[in-house]
Amino acid sequence: MKKSGSIIFRIIWVIILASSCTKEIHIPIPPIESKPVINCFFTPDSIFTLYVGKPVPIYDDEPRVLDHANVYLFEEQKCVDTLRYSEGLYFSSYVAKAEKSYDVKVQCPGFDTVFAQDMTPSPPEKLTGFFRDDVFRNEDGDPVSQVNLNIQDDPNENNFYELLLKITYRDPFDSAWHRNVEVGYAENNPDPVLENEGLIPYDPSTILFSDELFNGTRYTLTINYHGPYYVNNGETVNYSYFLVVFFRAVSKEYYLYKKQLIKHLYNQDSDIFDGMGNPVQMYSNVQGGYGIFAGYVERRDTIPRKNN
Amino acid sequence: MFNRKTILTGFLFIPLWVNAKHVTISGYVQDAETDERLIGANIVEIFSRNGTITNNYGYYNLAVPEKDSAKIRVSYIGYSTILRTISAKKDQKIDFQLTPGDSLAEVTVIGTRTRPIEQRNEMSVVSVPVKQMETLPALGGEPDLMKVMQLMPGVQSGNEGSSGLYVRGGGPDQNLILLDDVPLYYVNHLGGFVSIFNTDAISATKLIKGGFPASYGGRLSSILDVRMKEGNMKKFQGSGMIGLVASKVAVEGPLKKGRSSYLVSYRRFLYDLITMPISKLASNGYGFGYHFYDLNAKINHKFSDKDRLFLSIYSGDDQILAKMKLKTIDDKEESKMSNKWGNRLLALRWNHLYNRRLFSNLTLAYTRYRFNMEYSGSFGGKQDKHEYYSRFISGIYDANGKIDFEYYAGRNYKLKFGANGIYHIFRPGITSFRQSGSNMAPVDTSYGSFDLHSLEYAAYVDNEITMGPRLRMDLGFRFLLYQVEKKTYFSPEPRILFNYLITDNMALKASYAIMQQNVHLLSGTGAGLPVDLWMPATSIAEPERSCQTALGIARSLFQGSVEFSVEGYYKRMKNLIAYKEGINSLWGTTNWENKIETGGMGESYGIEFLVQKKTGRTTGWIGYTLSRTTRQFDNINFGEAYPYKYDRRHDISVVWMYKLKKNIDLSATWVFGTGNAFTMAEGKFSAINDNPHDPPPFVFNTEAYIYSDRNAYRMRPYHRLDVGVNFHKNKKWGERTWNISIYNVYNRQNPYFYFFDTKYEYDKHGRIIQGSGKNVLKQQSLFPIIPSVSYKFKF
């Protein structure tokens, strides 16, 4: 309903905008500080894949990849590998291990040497729970599905998590399989943990949260989402589908970066409806540079349906 | 030695001396044709030069030297001046009736103006007569009070076309907007391009930017005091207008001649009457429309010379409506969506004159702002009909009681005191949902944030003191008590104003005021669905406070026909709120306190110049403001202070009105302002944004921006020229006026917002050259040149 009102108001605005105009302008911008950019998410049993680049002025589109850097990898402060460059990325031959600390040092001519450090977190426990369809109707009258996930949190440390709901279903009309389709999250998500994170309004593609409100306990996370359905003779009928949860334990650095990134991307665009937005600076754990070097551990669990 | 108690008592109740050698005359000043009481009319005794102005109910009390005769001059803008000799041997009651006169007559009639600025015991106050507002050019031909106020120094407009007032670095929520003594919360229509004030129903307005009298409180930055017309006590009359933005009609007249009168005024945006049927035809049963309306009504009854009762009503809404109706042989489907938001106000006021010296006004009022969205419908045949209904409602509901007294102790002293209590109910947002039908379980549920209740009590005393021929003071004190969630906040608020006549026509003015605000406003930052969500101050988002000091010089020139003033001000604000980084609006109002930054500080200082020509064939003003406004929050901009979005270093407005002939008047306004502050993306880099289940190697093509410091850049300057002409003609049935206005005459493309776009190069076949895309900054403008015409009539 909110959306419907907004859409009509937007139509009025579009009429106004049709009589207005845009023009290209140029605002002189001082040179940006040239600092290396490092991007890497690493996970146990995988090699390190690292991007090294540089920032460019907002108006320019010059190449960004730095292909002549020396990239050193450290495990528990011991150098274990030097990454090799290939097709825009740097690759290690060394495989990350669980619950280990890693450092990366990047030297590139013309730039200061930069460092970053993080670790691979403890693997998450298996998720249990169930999902239900058509739990309630939202303001537009659409059915909303709900999944309840039991999370066992480790009391000995602050933990951070990320999860993604994907469904696989067979279309009853054309019998085609649709695999690993991401679901949309409902605007109304009353779970206190999700409320506390405050990320749902930014249309995130994943659910990111910390154990701040349930440290060391078994917590049931409730997520409202839009499952697939069709309308038959005026009745909504949910498809039969499998729900798979991709569940990550992530490091604090990963969590801080992703959380900021979700807000950053949401606010990049200006438009008449949201004005100039509310710009958000990016988070970085790269000393002397931009980007992120962070670890995670992923598992996937299939969640059963519980009939209403 | 004085102890603290003595000093406080002395401060609150200055010794009530009455000069035995003076007598007082008192009464009302009224419009001779309608009996409408005139607010702020000027009454001066010529020989002694003692003077006063009428209060908000047209009452005055003037002390004159006791002697055989006194010569009284009564004047008011737009009316012929009265000069009357009276006996001054004893106290007496005299009501004055002023006859409306056209402004040309003002050239020849001496003193057809307000009291000279240097003699007025006020500072940082601006007032524009309604007649002048109706003369000025307006967007779509609709005269707008708020837009006229934006032309005054120290008042900014925010975004293009907006009716919001940003006074001396404050936000639009920091203005106390009073309609007949009662606060209104939402004052915009059409997304902010039109205010709710219909000039047909308004008699007087006053904007106070600083030096606040103790009788006002509850907001940090300004008081906009709007008074509705009372209605003609003598004869039936009406007026109307057909314009591009809205059309309106107003009627007024006596219910009982000389005793009671009424006024009813209605204004409506009419386009939905066209869009609804056309869209239904064009889109197979789906119709939509938008409109707004304002209904003002007032009844006043004079029980006796000492008692008068006023009943004021205002109701206004914006509404978006969409309907769908489809019918087949077997099935029928209907749906309706309605969004409504607006105010309702009901105020009952009782004026009582106890004796010539003591006047009181009691106000009992109810006001409500609510945002309501409803969605309902049904589908299916007779056997399997389904129905559903959903509603979201958010709002603020106030019950308000207020008593104000004015005691005229004598020539040198006037005491005002009173008390006010407001019971607020805040409804952050509740959704109800119902559905029923065959083959399904019925649903009836509600969810959302619970109502919040708060109480606000205030008591004040205001001493207006004249010391000698040159010094006037206004020493006031307001004490505020605010209760919410079992917590109580006290706010002692001293209010001080000095007016010292340096020469006969020049005064030095200074003021100091502390203000507290117990409500917060959370609204979207752009021009999306215009939802204002009012929230109470709580222990997390504490009451906002401000402290403002102002110093200025005011003088009259050319026998008072020109007024000149310079004012410098410094204002500090604390406990401000702002959206957390990245949040633009507050959809879903649960846990709203988690979505805002609290404890913010604000600082604003500047200097304002105003030259105003008030009489003659040519009238108008030139205003200039040089100012700086910042905000500081611990979690924004790394804790560093940053420019407020509407910080405007330079702001100029030129207003020109010219009476070309008796039946033609011309007008023009030109505004210039430093561009709004914004945060610019200065650089960009590739970022990683993989999702769970994305296999390595990850995707690195997400573009992240490197932003400047908060609001470190400026948009291009804003400037615009509007012109208008009014053609008046007397007809057998009354008078008609054609108004032609041109908004943005030289079609300046003013910036509304900036955005990045990709610009490509094309080959000779018109195809994009691969890799040629380049990031460019673009400016979106809103209003080009817009001519408009309106037709007004009076009978």
Query: Is pLDDT at B471 greater than 80 in this prediction?
Result: yes
Q: Which of A20, A264, A275 sits opposite B704 (nearest CB)?
A: A264
The predicted pLDDT at position A105 comes to: 97
Query: Taking CA atoms, what residue in B is nearest to A62?
Result: B774
Query: Taking CA atoms, what residue in A is nearest to B371?
Result: A2
- Residues from chain B that touch A190, judged by Cβ atoms under 8 A, are 447, 590
Evaluate whether residue B268 is within a structural domain: yes
pLDDT, averaged across chain B: 85
Query: Is pLDDT at B430 greater than 60 in this prediction?
Result: yes
Query: Is pLDDT at B632 greater than 90 in this prediction?
Result: yes
B684 and A55: CB-CB below 8 Å? Answer: yes
Q: Is B129 in the same domain as B111? A: no
Mean pLDDT of B177-205: 88
The predicted pLDDT at position B440 comes to: 60
- Residues from chain A that touch B769, judged by Cβ atoms under 8 A, are none
CATH of residue B522: 2.40.170.20
A141 and B377: CB-CB below 8 Å? Answer: yes
Number of domains in chain B: 2
Local confidence band at B104 (pLDDT 50, 70, 90 cut-offs)? very low
What ipTM was reported for this prediction?
Answer: 0.89
The predicted-structure confidence for A124-173, as pLDDT tens digits, reads as follows 999 999 998 888 777 666 788 889 999 999 988 899 999 999 999 888 78
Q: Is B527 in the same domain as B655? A: yes
pLDDT, averaged across chain A: 86
Q: Which of A10, A51, A141 sits opposite B700 (nearest CB)?
A: A51
Cα distance between residue B84 and residue B64, in whole Å: 14
The predicted-structure confidence for B604-616, as pLDDT tens digits, reads as follows 999 999 999 988 8
A5 and B337: CB-CB below 8 Å? Answer: yes
If one counts every other C-beta atom within 10 angstroms of the C-beta of residue B435, the result is 20
Cα distance between residue A183 and residue A227, in whole Å: 7
- Residues from chain B that touch A291, judged by Cβ atoms under 8 A, are 685, 687-688
Query: How close, in Å, is residue A99 to chain B by CA atoms?
Result: 19
Among B437-446, B656-665, B745-754, which stretch is predicted with the lowest mean pLDDT?
Answer: B437-446
A2 and B392: CB-CB below 8 Å? Answer: yes
> A37-119 has which CATH code?
2.60.40
Query: How close, in Å, is residue B443 to chain A by CA atoms?
Result: 8
Q: What would the two tokens of residue B246 be?
A: 């809205």
- Residues from chain A that touch B191, judged by Cβ atoms under 8 A, are 9, 12-13
Q: Is A63 on the interface with B (CB under 8 A)?
A: no
Residues contacting B708, CB < 8 A, separation 6+: B679, B680, B681, B682
Query: Is pLDDT at A279 greater than 80 in this prediction?
Result: yes
The predicted pLDDT at position B438 comes to: 64
- Residues from chain A that touch B439, judged by Cβ atoms under 8 A, are 235
Q: Is B102 in the same domain as B151? A: no
Interface of B with A in 552-581 (CB under 8 A): 579-581
Q: Is B548 in the same domain as B478? A: yes
Q: Is B107 in the same domain as B214? A: no
The predicted pLDDT at position B756 comes to: 84
Q: Is B327 in the same domain as B396? A: yes
**Residue A192 in 3-state DSSP?**
helix
The predicted pLDDT at position B485 comes to: 86
Query: Is pLDDT at B349 greater than 90 in this prediction?
Result: yes
Q: Is B420 in the same domain as B486? A: yes
Q: Is B575 in the same domain as B649? A: yes
Query: Is pLDDT at A5 greater than 70 in this prediction?
Result: no
The predicted-structure confidence for A91-121, as pLDDT tens digits, reads as follows 999 999 999 999 999 999 999 999 999 999 9
Q: Is B683 on the interface with A (CB under 8 A)?
A: yes
- Residues from chain B that touch A90, judged by Cβ atoms under 8 A, are none
Q: Distances from the Cα of A285 to the Cαs of A42, A56, B127, in angstroms?
A: 14, 20, 56
Q: Is B373 on the interface with A (CB under 8 A)?
A: yes
Interface of B with A in 420-439 (CB under 8 A): 431, 433, 435, 437, 439
Local confidence band at B4 (pLDDT 50, 70, 90 cut-offs)? very low
Evaluate whether residue B160 is within a structural domain: yes
Q: Is B104 in the same domain as B142? A: no
Query: How close, in Å, is residue B431 to chain A by CA atoms?
Result: 8
The predicted-structure confidence for B372-382, as pLDDT tens digits, reads as follows 888 888 877 77
Q: Is B294 in the same domain as B434? A: yes
The predicted-structure confidence for A227-245, as pLDDT tens digits, reads as follows 888 877 667 777 889 999 9
Evaluate whether residue B411 is within a structural domain: yes
Residues contacting B8, CB < 8 A, separation 6+: none
The predicted pLDDT at position B549 comes to: 97
Evaluate whether residue B587 is within a structural domain: yes
Query: Is pLDDT at B667 greater than 90 in this prediction?
Result: yes
Please report which helix (H) or strand (E) contains residue A254, including its range: helix A252-266
The predicted pLDDT at position A1 comes to: 39
A276 and B679: CB-CB below 8 Å? Answer: yes
The predicted pLDDT at position A84 comes to: 95
The predicted pLDDT at position B480 comes to: 95
Query: How close, in Å, is residue A94 to chain B by CA atoms?
Result: 15
Local confidence band at B330 (pLDDT 50, 70, 90 cut-offs)? low
Evaluate whether residue B603 is within a structural domain: yes
Q: Is B43 in the same domain as B142? A: no
Is the alpha carbon torsion for B571, B573, B579, B582 positive or negative?
positive
The predicted pLDDT at position B139 comes to: 74
Main-chain phi, psi angles of A11, to 5 degrees: -60, -40
CATH of residue B60: 2.60.40.1120
- Structural domain for B582, as ranges: 125-676+787-794
Q: Distances from the Cα of B398 to the Cαs of A95, B190, B347, B370, in angstroms?
A: 66, 25, 11, 11
Local confidence band at B16 (pLDDT 50, 70, 90 cut-offs)? very low
Q: Report DSSP state, residue A45.
A: T
In a mutagenesis test of the B interface, which of A39, A114, A259 is the best target, namely the one with the most B β-carbons within 10 Å? A39
B375 and A16: CB-CB below 8 Å? Answer: no
Q: Is B759 on the interface with A (CB under 8 A)?
A: yes
The predicted-structure confidence for A52-98, as pLDDT tens digits, reads as follows 999 999 888 777 899 999 999 999 999 999 999 998 899 999 999 99
User: What are the helix and strand counts (H, E) for chain B?
Assistant: 5, 49
Q: Which of B320, B594, B755 sits opposite A5 (nearest CB)?
A: B320
Main-chain phi, psi angles of A34, to 5 degrees: -85, 105
Evaluate whether residue B594 is within a structural domain: yes
E strands along B438-543, which residues? 443-449, 452-467, 471-484, 487-503, 506-517, 519-523, 532-536
As a whole-number percent, the residues of chain B with pLDDT over 90 amount to: 44
Q: Is B755 on the interface with A (CB under 8 A)?
A: yes
Domain end point (choices B61, B91, B115): B115
Among A15-19, B349-353, B489-493, B738-742, which stretch is predicted with the lowest mean pLDDT?
Answer: A15-19
Q: Distances from the Cα of B577 to the Cαs of B171, B218, B384, in angstroms?
A: 11, 16, 51
Local confidence band at B528 (pLDDT 50, 70, 90 cut-offs)? very low
Mean pLDDT of B125-150: 85
Q: Which of B437, B679, B698 sits opposite A49 (nearest CB)?
A: B698
Cα distance between residue B181 and residue B350, in whole Å: 12
Among A157-171, B56-70, B706-720, which stretch is predicted with the lowest mean pLDDT?
Answer: B56-70
AA identity, residue B109: V
Contact A286, A118 (CB under 8 A): no
Interface of B with A in 210-269 (CB under 8 A): none
Q: Any idea which fold A128-269+276-281+298-303 has?
A: Immunoglobulin-like (2.60.40)
Cα distance between residue B490 and residue B669, in whole Å: 44
Cα distance between residue B123 and residue B495, in whole Å: 12
A270 and B753: CB-CB below 8 Å? Answer: yes
Evaluate whether residue B749 is within a structural domain: no
- Residues from chain A that touch B337, judged by Cβ atoms under 8 A, are 1, 4-5, 8
Q: Is B350 in the same domain as B250? A: yes
The owner of tokens 């940082």 is B124
Check whether the bond before B697 is cis (ω within 30° of 0).
Answer: yes
B739-770 CB burial, b ≥16 within 10 A, e <16: bebbbbbeebbbbbbbbbeeeeeeeeeeeeee
Interface of A with B in 104-133 (CB under 8 A): none
Local confidence band at B6 (pLDDT 50, 70, 90 cut-offs)? very low
Task: Map out the domains of chain A as residue ranges.
Answer: 37-119, 128-269+276-281+298-303
Q: Is A28 on the interface with B (CB under 8 A)?
A: no
- Residues from chain A that touch B594, judged by Cβ atoms under 8 A, are 195-196, 198
